[in-house]
Structure 1
Amino acid sequence: MAKTNPGRFFEDYSIGQVLHHAVPRTVTVGERALYHALYPARHALYSSDDFARSCGLPQSPIDDLAAFHVVFGKTVPDISLNAVANLGYAEGRWLKPVYPGDTLRSESEVIGLKQNSNGKTGVVWVRTRGLNQRDEVVIEYVRWVMVRKSNLDAPAPETVVPELKKALAPGDLVVPQGLNFSDYDFVQSGENHRWDDYKTGEMIDHVDGVTVEEAEHMLATRLWQNTAKVHFDLTFRPDGRLIYGGHVISMARALSFNGLANAQMIVGLNGGAHANPCFAGDTVKAWSEVLDKADTGVPGVGALRLRLVATKGGEPFALKTDEGRYRPEVLLDLDYWALMPK
């Protein structure tokens, strides 16, 4: 009897099914060092314990996206090992900071199923939660993936498409306990721009670019124990090893420092699309659009809703064609909430 795990196929999922993902992971300061080596990440709150303490936190947390990647990576063997594509995200919330020494584990519930008309694939919606060693939920999000069928004769399940929020309301956002930007040090953070300086509809070209290297993206994906075959095995996708979408997200977020250095903490993920595949040799650039602003009610802390777009060429601020399709150079379209000093 085979002892290896071939991964789940579309017909293996059912509504309400709960998946407890292996393996728990204790994160350390090494996680931060590797994350900052892989990306030009330099937001002050995640770089300096002293800066974090001046903002009311006990120490510098692990970067919000690094924590997300750890939680996400746990889910891959059970959800996306046989996926054709990761299609989107919604209702993502960072509920508690993750600190060095915390142990993270993940669990997911199947909340939607829809077989595609070709009968060979289907879409699976899951709500994933990342929990720490105290069983506190630190991150939660919904994502949906297109997954292959193994048995093409397996009957199609009843179609269930979950109703998801188009965007989180400001009241859905959780500001970490103790966070206070009243004495924020703009010299140490790297820019003077504060929440009040940004206007809804404003567009920001982040100027810089980074060429994706083969070794770096595979190192990053291994770091988060993401076992998806398309990221490693050239025989699985002969046109190249597909860059993990989270690698593109982190690269774009790091590039956004130039213009959004004070957008310190990501606390909400409204939606996201990996518009086109990314391969080694592509040069990633980024631009942002301010979609909304909100007051959190916490001293000195405002929230910006931002669209972050990563591209591999083309002009900034060009997103879709006249037909409404993403332009071929667009890699990522991400809609998120970030906390910023007022």
Structure 2
Amino acid sequence: MEKLNVTTLDTLLSTYGPSGNEEAVRELIKSEIKDYVDELHVDALGNLIARKKGQGKKIMLAGHMDQIGLMVTYIDKEGFMRFTNVGGISPTISLSQRVVFENGTIGVIGSEHLESLKDLKLDKMYIDIGANSKQEAEELVNIGDVCGYFEPPVIDDQKVISPSLDDRIGCYIMMETIKNLKDSVNDLFFVFTVQEELGLRGAKTAAYRVEPDIGIAYDVTMTGDTPKARTMALKMGEGFAIKAKDNSMISHPGLKNYLIEEAKKQEVDYQIEVLEFGGTDSGAIHLSKEGVPSSVLSIPTRYIHSTCEMVSVKDVLGAINYSTKLLSTDFNF
């Protein structure tokens, strides 16, 4: 079996990049793909648009660089910091977890004394960076500063575990696909988007600029394969998923069926995704201007929006190989 580029993936997963603070991630991706594309552009919102020129249909591939985070709203006299969420933060998942700020300052999320965990809310929680006073804390962190979960990635032959797989794994698949593609009959725009976790913002502006004929997002999706999980026909390790529906879109029937037929031709493992909540960049792409036929290739992921998001190496490699062949074909549907 082929292997992941562990060095690249580890660095990508470890790079600071909460929503609205994607600069370091963008620079890393630029350095990795600059020799494999014909054009690179950073738009006003911060999206990285990488083009591989072709004469066929204009296809926009999107994966978001940002991850969920926390923003400091108040620092008390003892140096403890209150915060608000930047994206979908769970209080119970966040309690006692480590976080890191852009300047490398590391803290721990704690909470006030509570009689029951049922009472745990974000407004009962704080970040502790070990400061002894407000003045000492403000030498390192200020109001409006953003942090993200801090845990080193775990990568082996079977799985990847990291806080930022949503959606650095989508970015990684796109990066590796770019490197694998030799020539394309299509005009390909690989867009590494910003602020997806805050409402698909980067994809909206990028799609308006690119004006694609077809849109495909790469993102994570939930699974139904853990004990007493919510009923869902997706399992980690049984192939990437082709989306039928989520809360932001219904996949274009022709494009969805085309993606399925291509998977059958390639004889690769795939699953069909019906997500009853959430959305992806394709939710914004498909509504751009006069409308864009769109769908999503998803990686089944356990423990989404936690410090230990988990994916199967097999699913990731399958998505890369499938995408490389898919994007070398003329889309007829």
TM-score by structure 1 length? 0.28
Higher helix proportion = 2
Report 1 or 2 for greater relative contact order, CA contacts < 8 Å, sequence distance ≥ 6.
2
TM-score by structure 2 length? 0.28
